[in-house]
Structure 1
Amino acid sequence: MQSLMRVVRSASALWPFYLAVVLFSSVVAGLGMAAPFIIREATDTIVDTVSYGTPAPTRTIVFLALALFAAEAASAVFSNVSGYLGDVMVARIRQILSTRYYAKLLALPQRYFDNQITGTIIARLDRSIANVTQFIQSFANSFLPMLLQVAAVLAVTTYYYWPLTILLLLLFPLYTWLTALTSRRWQKLERRKNAEIDAANGRFAEVIGQVKVTKSYVAEVRELDSFGTHYGETVALTRPQSRWWHSMDSVRGTAMTAIFLGIYLILFLRTLHGHLTIGEMVMLLQMVTMTRQPVHMMSWIVDSAQRAVAGSRDYFRVMDETVEPTANRELVAAIETTGAPELTVIQHSPLDAREPVIGFEHVTFEYSPGEPVLRDVTFRAREGEKIALVGESGGGKSTVVNLLLGLYPVEQGRLTVCGRDVADLGVEDLRASTGVVFQDSTLFSGTIRDNIAYGKPDATDEEIIEVAQRANAHDFILKFKDGYDTVIGERGVRLSGGQRQRIAVARAMLKDAPILVLDEATSALDTKAERAVQAGLDELMKNRTTIMIAHRLSTIADVDTIITLRDGRIDEVGSPAELASSGGIYSELLRLTASSSAADRARLKAFGFRVRDDEAKDS
């Protein structure tokens, strides 16, 4: 239960709710205890009247009946007030835990996501927090008032006959001990079930997110079979898990029934021998019955608690991850808050361009220890210069971009942006100074306007239209019925590849950063779409320092400098004209592009290059 207490501490700002729930639960418990006392008085009054022929105390009986009604009605009202507070409290806890989890993910380094499946991350959020909050809600609304009533019952039975209290007290340690015997094996099987569910749901999210690929490869049945197999394994695990639980539950039930047998015998015999009145016996029987319900409910509560414990462990496993050193201070504050975070959205301005705008100085980098991807890379980019990175796939081009975007820290060497060492910059300043257009121009669900203004949410309509025109996107946007208010669907599914890319170009334009990164921005487009996008890119590159990774020679013919990378090292640096006859990678690419042999085309693919017939002819 330690991890559940950690959940409560994580939301300690909700202490007024905790206090109110305990207070109202105490009132509910007290009102519940009133009924047996009232019934005792009514029973003894009626028995005395019947036994001794005394005048019928009608007024007393009516008063007791009204008192019983008042107690039960008040109990219902306060119980619902307590339930309302418990529901709001749990909703707030879910808000706090979910927001902290989201903030944590946003603050984690890119390395964490390299080893995770998106669907699994989402499934973990849903299952872990749902299990925790369901347990807290059940405990606050139902189990806590019962436990308080049990405490009151124990006090009353101690007053009347202390051995009754001993027997009642035996119920709880006995049940706890038998549950402990059950719990370890149950939780082990539960962890295996959760792993299967996470794998299934992670794959589910992946397939649904790329359903066109699944359909095009006729893999629907295979994916469904894999999904069903994972859940089939949960069924196989549930059989021994449930069999073990219910077998032990039968033992618990038998043991408790034996204790209740002793309690009933004591009550009956003491009443028979005149130690208790009939009313007192009825009262104590009612009170004992009150303890039976929470004891039986403990089976469900323990089951729910075990799920919550397992869920909280998964949750805190993520929360205990180390955030990236340069994580946004607002995110870090949201992770550490014990209440709902009060966030201030700050629009970070790009850095002023200073020389060198980009500077790599003896940078060595590795994703995995002992496997360097970049080796002693040194180069500089001046203001307004266009630099192309060329090399075989896996040669380190994308890693240069990842470091430039601050997705990974520079471990050896020095990287400067706009004349500042990135080690001294926050990632907000670094990323605010860098615009990027990826090969896969991922857009968000929402309108075209929202996506263009993603980096500048307060942009005016005039600014949005102006960059759309420069990105060669305005005309196709107006062809939609709703224009800039057109909802484009998840990842821009309603747009073509060229249209999505032009929206991405407009988005980067509006950001107006001094550095531009083009990561294979046109490699996935057909000829017509590439020309439309390239026109927008040419406009975007004006007066910016540009680093581009290209998969077509036509897109790097006009750059100022080409840097070729071989096995993570810089092989050559020079203009296209200088490197065309140097005998290096770029001149080899020119030769391969002009060739029509199968071997040369295969070699070209090793560089990740695509070539069209018109490019071959031009070469």
Structure 2
Amino acid sequence: MKSILRILRATKELNRYYIFIMACAVLTSVTALASPFAIKGATDAVVQHSGEGWGRGLNVIIWFAVAYLVAQLLNTLFTNIGGYLGDVMSQRMRTMLSVRYFDKLLSLPLSYYDEELTGTIVSRLNRTIMEITRFIQMFSNTFASLLITTASVLIISGIYYWPLAVLLLIIFPVYFWLTSKTSEKWQVWEGEKNADIDVASGRFNEVIGQIRVVKSFGQERRELSIFRQLFHSTIGTTSQQSRYWHKMDVYRLAFLNIVFFLLYLLIFVRTLQGKFSIGDMVLLIQLMGMAVQPITSLSWVVDAAQRAIAGSKDYFDVMEREVDPRAVALTQGELTEKEPEPVKAEPGQEIIRFENVTFGYEGEGDVLHDIDLSIRRGEKIAFVGESGGGKSTLMSLLEGLYDPRSGSVTVDGMNLVEGNLQKLRSQIGMVFQDASLFSGTIAENIAYARPNATREEVREAAIKANADQFIRGFADGYDSLIGERGLKLSGGQKQRIAVARAILKDAPILILDEATSALDTKAERAVQKGLDELMAGRTSLIIAHRLSTISAVDRIVTLRDGRIDEVGTPAELARSGGIYAELLGLQNSSSKADKNRLKSYDIVG
């Protein structure tokens, strides 16, 4: 019950819907109860005037028939009004919970996504919220009606003959207790089944997202086998679950049948003794029939409640996770385009500072150790180190995606642990090694950071990124749809669009994480020219894959085992005998071992 109340508290904005729906449920119950009384009156009138001729009781019977018609029409009206309100309320609730869930996900730190499959997150959204809204709709539409009907039947039965009420009173708690005991065990199996389904859905989403890789490696059968195995495991669980539920259902219904046998026997005997009129008998039989529905509905209400409770647990587990308080502000306020925040540091002054930074991913050891580095405004800095040595992790810290375990990262005088992420990220433009594009048009992807950019500004950025020519080659040009994750584009085309996106953002700090790694030599030269123009006067941090790019920077930072090994100009480090000097030597070597060693630094020569 606590979970249900928690759901209602979380959706208190819908209280007026709950009130009107329950009011309709009350009126539905009242009109439903009026019908048996109309039939009782008509039955007694027929018995009373039987054999007296056509006209004697006709008026009375007509009035009872009209009363029955009015009750049925009103019952139909209130049922459908309540159904309409329930449908609208249910969709409003689903929208409300879904938006809050998405808002929460956007506010969670990146470490949450390191541990969760995307498909599992999506499956949880669909399954849990659907089960919650379905139950609340059933609860609000039927609970009041069941309660009023039950109470009314008990009172009326007690007035006519108290043993009838006593037998009914025995039914409800016993039947509810048997159903609750059944549901406790059922819920455990449901949790196991949901876990398998979430994992299967997560894998499904992952495979569809990487379908090109799956097909390229010929792993369709293996992926289908994994998916089939996860779903097949739910069959065994469902078999146990259903066998137990229906076995208990036999006990519940057998108990119900015995009690109703006694109820009907009492009614018939009392009528035979002359204690009840024929009309009383008809009324009580109808009331007993009305009592069956609330009793048997208990199993469905409990079933839906258990599903909603299980679903709400998964939902609130996510909603209770600790958010990054700096990220919350990014999802609040008006949706307005903002220019990049101007930097306070003058050219040549320190703008970025890593001070004794140590970092490791959640549950893992440290991957960065005592990083101490100062970067001046306008500098071009290249980061060099073995693959997995912490270069991209360092950039993630700079973007505020993770917080250091110790030490601090400062950008333009702002400590990122306590600072304004909106301001920070407005000052940083990024091009990732893996170009990340969204479904939609090419123009929308280029203008992702500046949705209100003019078409001319979008095209100008594409020209600088050497993308305009191939874009105009598509049938719809800049309005061409590129498919989910840019599947309709080649790797080089996707990368050039990502570069154009960074050029259009025009941020004062630039991060290039192997930005041209997917391009051939000719395309890279053209894009590099645009990047050179973009980097002019900007603070640029580069993880490069070619030594020619590294040689053009102001300083090189080499990383070894997560620590800064050397910092200096290309000329200085070429003579130092360190990592950069080693790379220069490897580049001039023709041996296979040296070439492989060069690749371990993500360098292609």
Q: What is the TM-score when the length of structure 1 is the normalising length?
A: 0.94
Name the structure 1 match of 2:107: 107
**Aligned 8 A contact 1:49 1:56 in 2:** yes
What does 1:208-607 align with in structure 2 at a 5 Å threshold? 208-329=208-329, 331=331, 344-353=334-343, 354=345, 355-368=349-362, 371-607=365-601
Cα-to-partner distance string for 1:31-54 (whole Å, 9 max, x where unaligned): 101100100100001111127779
For 1:594 and 1:44, locate their aligned partners in 2 and report how far apart those are by CA, in whole Å: 111
Which residue does 1:340 correspond to in 2? Answer: none
CA-CA distance at 1:227 after TM superposition: 0.3
Give the counterpart letter for 1:437 in structure 2: V
Do the aligned residues in 2 keep the contact of 1:49 with 1:55 (CA within 8 Å)? no
Preserved CA contact (<8 Å) 1:104 1:323: yes
SS in 1 for 2:540: strand
Greater displacement, 594-603 / 233-242: 594-603
Summarize deviations over 1:265-292 as a string: whole Å, max 9, x none.
Answer: 2211222222221111111110110111
Residue 12 of structure 1 is matched in structure 2 by: 12
Contact 1:472 1:535 in 2 (8 A): no
Moved more, 518-527 or 357-366: 518-527
Q: Which moved more, 1:481-490 or 1:465-474?
A: 465-474
Partner amino acid, structure 2, of 1:361: E
Contact 2:586 2:595 in 1 (8 A): yes
Letter in 2 for 1:165: A
Any unmatched runs of 5+ in structure 1? 334-342, 612-619
TM-align CA RMSD: 1.8
CA distance in 1, matches of 2:475, 2:55: 89
Alpha carbons 2:111, 2:362 under 8 Å: kept = no
Cα-to-partner distance string for 1:195-243 (whole Å, 9 max, x where unaligned):
1111111001000101010011110000001100111100011111110
Question: Is contact 1:351–1:418 with CA below 8 Å preserved after alignment?
Answer: no
Residue 90 of structure 2: aligned partner? 90
Q: What residue is the counterpart of 1:609 in the other structure? A: 603
**Secondary structure of the residue that 1:454 maps to in structure 2?**
coil
Aligned letter for 1:350?
Answer: P
AA in 2 matched with 1:477:
I
What percent identity do the matched residue pairs reach? 52
CA distance in 1, matches of 2:426, 2:507: 7
- Single out whichever of 152-161 and 446-455 deviates more from structure 2: 152-161
Mapped to 2, the partners of 1:525 and 1:543 lie a distance apart of: 25
State the AA in 2 paired with 1:12: K
What residue identity is the alignment partner of 1:553?
Answer: L
- Aligned pair 1:176/2:166, yes or no? no
Distance 2:522 2:208 in 1: 30
Offset at residue 143 of structure 1 (A): 5.0
Deviations 1:512-540 (A, max 9, x none): 21100011112233333323332332232
Contact 2:466 2:523 in 1 (8 A): no
Query: Residue type matched to 2:553 in 1?
Result: V
Residues in 1 aligned to 2:526 and 2:227: alpha-carbon distance in whole angstroms: 41
Quote the Cα distance in structure 2 between the aligned partners of 1:507 and 1:24. Answer: 55
- 1:75 corresponds in structure 2 to 75
Cα deviation for residue 97 of structure 1 reads 0.5
The residue identity in structure 2 corresponding to 1:534 is Q
The SS at the match of 1:376 is strand
Q: Is the Cα contact below 8 Å between 1:348 and 1:429 reproduced in 2?
A: no
- The amino acid of 2:302's aligned partner reads V
Q: 1: CA distance between counterparts of 2:364 and 2:464?
A: 46
2:201 maps to 1:201: yes
Structure 1 Cα separation of the partners of residues 529 and 284 of structure 2 = 88
Instruction: Report the TM-score, using the length of structure 2 for normalisation.
Output: 0.96
Report how far residue 430 of structure 1 moved.
1.0
Contact 2:557 2:566 in 1 (8 A): yes
Q: Which SS does the other structure have where 1:372 is aligned?
A: coil
Structure 1 SS opposite 2:260: helix
Between 544-553 and 519-528, the greater mean CA deviation after superposition: 519-528
